Amino acid sequence: MRIFCASLATETNTFSPLRMDFSDFEQSFYAAPGAHPETPTLCSAVFPALRKQAKTGAFDLIEGTATWAEPGGLLNAKTWQRLRDEVLDQVRAAMPLDGVVLGLHGAMIAEGCVDCEGVLIEAVRAIVGDTAIIGVSFDPHSHLSQKRVDNADIITVFKEFPHTDFVEAGEACVDLTLRAIRGEIKPTLSVFDVRMMDVLPTSRDPMRGFVDKLKSLEQSGEVLSVSTIHGFMAGDSPDLGAKIIVVTDNDTAKGDRIAAELGMELFSFRGQTKPDFMTASAALQMAAQAPQGPVVIADVWDNPGGGVAGDSTLMLREAMAQNLQSAAFGTIWDPMAVRLCHAAGEGATLDLRLGGKTSAHAGAPVDAQVTVIRNQRDAVQSFGTSVVPLGDCSVVQIGGIDVVLNSNRSQAFSPDLFTNLGINIADKKVLVVKSTNHFHGAFASVAADIIYAAVDGPYPNDPTTTPYKRLARAIWPIVDDPHQKELT
């Protein structure tokens, strides 16, 4: 038995001022065939899962490329074609194959290609033929096209947001693919279009209970797998929005019924799932007045994990205006500021311009006299068992505020974003992180409180006002009752 695996992943914010090319993949994560590390990355957990299974000698594993780019703007056509052809050439060279396992994100959009993952899966199917089993793992913040459903046998999706279960989703994809190859199951996909685009954090109800229900359906054996696509509101895709995927053992009727029931239950949650968002001013004041710290404030819309730059200064400016003390900000993306701080050296005091470089909507640059309190080459943070590169970093002090400047864009995942750079978070009253909800899993255990702050910037956070050009389906909240009325 011969199985090929590869991972090709990024998340495209088509409204972002950023543009992406191959250097974004090189900077974030690129592993040539055979060079994938033992630890998984967000979308490549299928690699260590397959390696573990292959040690039994049950099959030969042929590894292809694994690469990930931090979410950003539109991917240029040359890079997409290069990566697509690289993987497809590896599939051809590995033939004959009994199975293919792909670790994908699901929201990649390139110049001239709206459905990159669908095109890739379809092309793999054309190479391996109808009898080979194709298993795919997706991030829930993705776009599920019919082309993907038609050409994949297995689809698993991270259930949690924050994505604390990306390893489990990869392992499930591998397990089901191997069982299908061995003839133990005959997987059938059922999909229900929820026709809804909302923020669906699973760290709180009603989504917490919904995810627990999905897990119980799998554990009971009622289904082989059940997943929720949340959708990615910053991607102009015709497949925008939430969908339910049910995998049964050759029982399409049951799968369709369960998918529809779960889909309408999810639709009933519309408008009730996102946290209460405060203004920057109110959030900072509440945190400063809290009886104990650290209070974590999430700057939810300047989140590099949503494809924006992460160099907004709006929260920082408000904190400076309030003369906030005992605070740390993580992070502001500014490679030039980092370079200047490294040149000046630790302990130096200098006039520095930082942030506010990529968007007219993210605030003006901050001009301040800063003290460099830490410089570090090749800094990292953790995301579960994954290691996330931050590039060269500097920590500068502005009054009572420590600001982490990074050269590799990344959202905040873990408190070690701060502690790896010498910041003692126990001594801080306020921690401001740029993340929508992925920070929650690691920060919840150390936070005295968590506050979500919504500061409008380059991220399109309201589907009713976002100028989608490709959306031809009726979805909520653009249409109040999309299950009855088509979008015109």
Residue 476 counted as domain residue: no
- Distance from C-alpha of 138 to C-alpha of 156, rounded to nearest angstrom: 6
Report the pLDDT value the prediction gives residue 385, as an integer from 0 to 100. Answer: 87
Number of domain units in the chain: 2
pLDDT at position 450 over 60: yes
Burial of 351 (0-12, 13-18, 19+ CB in 10 A): exposed
* Backbone torsions φ then ψ of 23, nearest 5 degrees: -65, -30
Report the pLDDT value the prediction gives residue 344, as an integer from 0 to 100. Answer: 98
| Segments forming the whole domain that contains residue 210 | 2-267
Confidence of residue 445 (pLDDT cuts 50, 70, 90): very high
- Distance from C-alpha of 311 to C-alpha of 14, rounded to nearest angstrom: 18
- Distance from C-alpha of 335 to C-alpha of 341, rounded to nearest angstrom: 10
Residue 460 counted as domain residue: no
141 C-beta neighbours (distance < 10 Å), count: 26
Residue 487 counted as domain residue: no
Question: Tens of pLDDT along 106-159?
Answer: 999 999 999 999 999 999 999 999 999 999 999 999 999 999 999 999 999 999
pLDDT at position 457 over 80: no
- Across the range 27-51, mean pLDDT stands at 96
pLDDT at position 485 over 70: no
Report the pLDDT value the prediction gives residue 486, as an integer from 0 to 100. Answer: 53
Residue 468 counted as domain residue: no
Q: Do 403 and 261 fall into the same domain? A: no
Q: Which tokens in the block code for residue 206?
A: 């009603």
Question: Tens of pLDDT along 223-270?
Answer: 999 999 999 999 999 999 999 999 999 999 999 999 999 999 999 999
Q: Do 346 and 262 fall into the same domain? A: no
231 C-beta neighbours (distance < 10 Å), count: 27
- Distance from C-alpha of 3 to C-alpha of 172, rounded to nearest angstrom: 16
For residue 458, CA distances in Å to 19, 228, 355, 361 come to: 14, 27, 14, 6
pTM (two decimals): 0.94
Residue 340 counted as domain residue: yes
Q: Do 356 and 394 fall into the same domain? A: yes
DSSP 106-168: SB--BTTBS-HHHHHHHHHHHHH-SSSEEEEEE-SSS---HHHHHH-SEEEE---SS-TTHHH
Q: Are 112 and 81 in contact (CB under 8 A)?
A: no
Q: Are 194 and 266 in contact (CB under 8 A)?
A: yes
pLDDT at position 351 over 50: yes
Domain boundary among 236, 267, 298: 267
Q: Which residues have a Cβ under 8 Å from the Cβ of 283 and sit 6 or more positions away?
A: 297, 451, 452, 453
Q: Do 237 and 351 fall into the same domain? A: no
Q: Do 37 and 174 fall into the same domain? A: yes
DSSP 168-233: HHHHHHHHHHHHHHTTS--EEEEEEE--B-----TTSTTHHHHHHHHHHHHHTTS-SEEEEE---T
Q: Do 327 and 449 fall into the same domain? A: yes
Q: Are 142 and 13 in contact (CB under 8 A)?
A: no
Q: Which tokens in the block code for residue 126?
A: 């054309």
Q: Which helix (H) or strand (E) holds 316?
A: helix 314-321
Q: Do 431 and 364 fall into the same domain? A: yes
Report the pLDDT value the prediction gives residue 487, as an integer from 0 to 100. Answer: 47
Closest to 245 (Cα-Cα) out of 232, 264, 258, 231 = 258
Domain boundary among 237, 267, 297: 267
Report the pLDDT value the prediction gives residue 361, as an integer from 0 to 100. Answer: 86
Domain boundary among 220, 239, 267: 267
Q: Which helix (H) or strand (E) holds 327?
A: strand 327-333
Q: Do 337 and 256 fall into the same domain? A: no
Q: Do 159 and 301 fall into the same domain? A: no
Residue 467 counted as domain residue: no
- Across the range 68-80, mean pLDDT stands at 97
Residue 458 counted as domain residue: no
Q: Do 161 and 127 fall into the same domain? A: yes
Q: Do 225 and 373 fall into the same domain? A: no
- Across the range 430-450, mean pLDDT stands at 96
**% of the chain surpassing 90 pLDDT:** 96
Q: Which helix (H) or strand (E) holds 389?
A: strand 386-398
- Across the range 383-390, mean pLDDT stands at 92
Q: Which residues have a Cβ under 8 Å from the Cβ of 306 and sit 6 or more positions away?
A: 11, 13, 71, 234, 411, 436, 459
What mean pLDDT value characterizes the chain? 96
Residue 485 counted as domain residue: no
- Distance from C-alpha of 311 to C-alpha of 304, rounded to nearest angstrom: 9
b/e map of 293-331 (b: 16 or more CB within 10 Å)? bbbbbbbbbbbbbbbbbbbbbbbbbbbbeeebeebbbbb
The SS3 assignment for 254 reads helix
Q: Do 143 and 281 fall into the same domain? A: no
Angle of CA points 84, 169, 110, to nearest 5°: 25
